[in-house]
Amino acid sequence: MKTLKNTEQKYSKFQWFVMVIFIPIMFAILLFSIILSFMGISVVDQAKQVASNIPVLSNYVKTEEQIIADEEKGNIDELMAIINARETELALLEQKLLTKEEEVQSLLNEIEILMDQLEEKKDIHLEVKTEYTEIAKLYETMSAKNAANILTQLSDDEAAIHLSFIKIDARAAILAKMTPDKAAELISLLSNN
pLDDT score at 6: 56
Q: Please say whether the beta carbons of 64 and 52 come within 8 A.
A: no
Q: Which amino acid, one-letter code, is at 36?
A: L
Regions in the chain scoring below 70 on pLDDT = 1-11, 51-52, 56-67
Angle (deg, nearest 10), helices 156-165 and 168-176: 140
Tell me the pTM: 0.42
pLDDT score at 12: 78
Distance between CA atoms of 15 and 4, rounded to whole angstroms? 16
Cα separations (Å) of 186 from 130, 160, 191?
22, 6, 9
**Concatenated DSSP letters for 55-100?**
TTGGGT---HHHHHHHHHHHHHHHHHHHHHHHHHHHHHHHHHHHHH
Q: Is 25 helix (H, G, I), strand (E, B) or coil?
A: helix
11-65 pLDDT, tens per residue?
Answer: 678 888 888 889 999 999 888 888 888 888 877 777 777 766 777 666 666 666 6
27-40 pLDDT, tens per residue?
Answer: 998 888 888 888 88
pLDDT score at 115: 94
3-state helix, strand, coil in the chain (%, to 5): 90, 0, 10
